[in-house]
Each structure stands twice: as structure tokens, then as C-alpha cells.
């Protein structure tokens, strides 16, 4: 096997340049090594590449397989639970709405384990905030269905979502445009326009748009500002 340190250095450089497909191609060549440092980077890159393509079911299945392997070899690592959570949810979505809803309790459990293992990872706090925001935003009849299938699932408020999203921003300011947009969105949903405006304005005026998440956040922030 090639020098693992050189592989990791190259993979991290490519990822920093948003060359997700190239990272995946590189790391796939070494995935049989059952090496933690290779596998978590492959899971991260597969998820980032999927977010760009959205409809690529094959990437979800590959990501879930990679995350499952990662969880087997490193069951106490934060990254193992983080990527298992995201790919479990995405894979369940392929199987239909009911399966996606049935997966929610397990997805949140893995997010929380990941957070507890590394409380300074802003992305895990972001994931938990996204999870709570989506639940809090459901219509009452949607909540009836969701909680009928998940008796023990938390029933979060927008404040719960904000707590997590703001914690992510506190750990690493401006690390992710989508996180800032969601903070602004939640404040908007609470009709707290004074607090919403700075976040939405910053993202609406984003000058460098590198990813699909950046593009979505910029456009959605501008739309919400137009409603204020």
C-alpha cells in the first residue's frame, strides 16, 4: 500500500479544493485496507459529493456501506457515528417515506453519540440542529404520523434547533453557509426578524459560492429577506 500519510495529505488537499470526486477516486483505491483514517475521509467525501449531485442513489449506498464498515472498526469514534447517521437517514429515504420516518430515532441516537464523543465538531452540532429544525417545522398532521411511528422520539422546539446551530457557529464561526442560513431561518420562523436579518443578509450577499449548499443558502436567504 502507498504511504498512508501521503494519501491522507493528498486527499485533504483535494477536499479543501472542493474536488470531492477526485478525493473519492483516490480513497476508493485504498478502501480495502480497513484503515480508519481512509474510511472516514471516504465517507466525508462521498457525502459531500452526494450533496452536489442529490439524485445519486449509488453514492448513498456506497456511503452507507463505508459508514457501516467504519462503525465496525471504530465503534467509539465520533466520525463513525456521524457518517453512519447521515447515510442511514439518506438510505432510509431511498426506501420510502415510512422507512425514513422509522429511521429517525436511530439517526438521532447516532448524532448524539457522535456529539458526545467530540463536542468540538461544529458539523455534528449542525446535524443535530437540522434534525430539530425539520421536526419543529412539520405541520401538525405530519407530526401525528411521525410520532405514531416513533413513540420515543424527542419533540423539539425551534429553540432546541437554535441552541445547536448557534453552538456550531460558536465553535467555528462562518464554517458553513447553510448553518448560518438556518439560524436566520429559525429566527424568521419565530418572527424574530431583528436577529434573523444579520444572518440572512450575510448569506444572501455571499460572494464566493463553491457548493450546492452555498447556492441554496444564498438564494433561500435572499427570498426570506424579501418577505421581511
Asked if 180 and 169 count as a contact pair (C-beta separation under 8 A), the reply is yes
Question: Residue 31: its pLDDT value, please?
Answer: 77
Sequence-distant (≥ 6) Cβ neighbours of residue 21 within 8 angstroms: 49
The domain of 28 spans 1-96
Q: Residue 74 is part of a domain; what is its CATH number?
A: 1.25.40
- C-alpha cell at position 199: 444572518
Instruction: Tell me the pTM.
Output: 0.94
**Number of domains forming the structure of the chain:** 1
Question: Residue 32: its pLDDT value, please?
Answer: 77
For residue 156, is it within any domain?
no
Question: Residue 82: its pLDDT value, please?
Answer: 98
For residue 102, is it within any domain?
no
Question: Residue 53: its pLDDT value, please?
Answer: 84
SS3 (DSSP) at 172: coil
Burial class (CB in 10 A: 0-12, 13-18, 19+), 21: middle
Question: Residue 4: its pLDDT value, please?
Answer: 86
For residue 200, is it within any domain?
no
For residue 215, is it within any domain?
no
Instruction: Identify the segments of the chain with pLDDT beneath 50.
Output: none
For residue 174, is it within any domain?
no
Asked if 182 and 211 count as a contact pair (C-beta separation under 8 A), the reply is no
- C-alpha cell at position 158: 425551534
For residue 36, is it within any domain?
yes
Question: Residue 56: its pLDDT value, please?
Answer: 85
Asked if 132 and 164 count as a contact pair (C-beta separation under 8 A), the reply is yes
Question: Residue 2: its pLDDT value, please?
Answer: 62
| Dihedral angle over CA of 135, 160, 169, 112, nearest 10 | -80
Note the pLDDT tens digit of each residue in 57-83. Answer: 999 999 999 999 999 999 999 999 999
Place of cell 452555498: 214
* Cα 202 from Cα 215, distance rounded (Å): 13
For residue 204, is it within any domain?
no
For residue 29, is it within any domain?
yes
Q: What is the DSSP annotation of 96-158?
A: -HHHHHHTHHHHHHHHHHHHHH-TT-HHHHHHHHHHHHHHHTS-HHHHHHHHHH-TT-----H
Amino acid at each position: 500500500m502507498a504511504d498512508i500519510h501521503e494519501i491522507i495529505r493528498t486527499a485533504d488537499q483535494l477536499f479543501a479544493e472542493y474536488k470531492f470526486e477526485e478525493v473519492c477516486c483516490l480513497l476508493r483505491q485504498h478502501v480495502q485496507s480497513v484503515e480508519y483514517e481512509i474510511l472516514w475521509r471516504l465517507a466525508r467525501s462521498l457525502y459531500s459529493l452526494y450533496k452536489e449531485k442529490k439524485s445519486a442513489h449509488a453514492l448513498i449506498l456506497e456511503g452507507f456501506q463505508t459508514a457501516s464498515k467504519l462503525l465496525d472498526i471504530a465503534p467509539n469514534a465520533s466520525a463513525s457515528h456521524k457518517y453512519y447517521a447521515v447515510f442511514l437517514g439518506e438510505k432510509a429515504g431511498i426506501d420510502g417515506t415510512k422507512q425514513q420516518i422509522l429511521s429517525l430515532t436511530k439517526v438521532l441516537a447516532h448524532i448524539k453519540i457522535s456529539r458526545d464523543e467530540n463536542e468540538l465538531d461544529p458539523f455534528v452540532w449542525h446535524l443535530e440542529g437540522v434534525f430539530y429544525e425539520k421536526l419543529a417545522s412539520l405541520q401538525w398532521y405530519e407530526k401525528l404520523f411521525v410520532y405514531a411511528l416513533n413513540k420515543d422520539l424527542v419533540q423539539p422546539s425551534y429553540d432546541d434547533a437554535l441552541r445547536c446551530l448557534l453552538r456550531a457557529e460558536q465553535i467555528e464561526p462562518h464554517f458553513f453557509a447553510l448553518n448560518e442560513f438556518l439560524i436566520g431561518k429559525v429566527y424568521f420562523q419565530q418572527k424574530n426578524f431583528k436577529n434573523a436579518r444579520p444572518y440572512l443578509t450575510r448569506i444572501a450577499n455571499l460572494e464566493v459560492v463553491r457548493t450546492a449548499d452555498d447556492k441554496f443558502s444564498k438564494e433561500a436567504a435572499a427570498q426570506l429577506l424579501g418577505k421581511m
